[in-house]
């Protein structure tokens, strides 16, 4: 898909979708295809969401250009967070794609969760912790 076609398709909004109502959100940063906000229910301080402007429910439905735009904002947010908070020593990046994966807002969004030494007694396994019995290996 060409950039112009992708850009035009981002105007598709879903009525009642909290991530489509961008005028009601405190946007931290944005580019042509996506934007970032702080998570309303943060796991840690500065927990950020990167959200495509086009209403699309799942990560695997994103266009390549949207993935690149998301990646740019992830990098930007990571630099901003580490500049704001020197206690941040790592990050988890996660996507819940589908209700069975825990997605509650059916508009794709990527979590950037800052981590700090000692914020979890045993962080080994990281995102594997979504299924607790599989975290430690």
By annotation, the residues acting in catalysis are 109
Supply the DSSP symbol for 105. S
Residue 85: which residues within 8 A CB-CB, separation 6 or more? Answer: 45, 46, 114
**Residue 53 neighbours by CB distance under 10 Å:** 23
Residue 52: which residues within 8 A CB-CB, separation 6 or more? Answer: 10, 33, 34, 62, 66, 69, 70, 107, 108
């Amino acid at each position: 898909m060409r950039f112009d076609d992708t850009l035009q398709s981002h105007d598709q909004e879903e009525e009642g979708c909290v991530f489509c109502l961008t005028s009601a959100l405190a946007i931290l940063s944005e580019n042509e295809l996506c934007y970032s906000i702080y998570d309303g229910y943060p796991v840690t301080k500065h927990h950020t969401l990167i959200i495509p402007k086009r209403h699309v429910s799942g990560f695997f439905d994103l266009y390549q250009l949207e993935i690149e735009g998301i990646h740019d904002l992830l990098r930007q947010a990571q630099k901003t967070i580490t500049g704001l908070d020197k206690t941040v020593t790592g990050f988890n990046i996660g996507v819940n794609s589908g209700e069975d994966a825990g997605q509650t807002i059916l508009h794709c969004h990527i979590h950037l969760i800052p981590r700090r030494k000692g914020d979890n007694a045993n962080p080994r396994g990281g995102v594997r912790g979504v299924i607790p019995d599989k975290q430690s290996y």
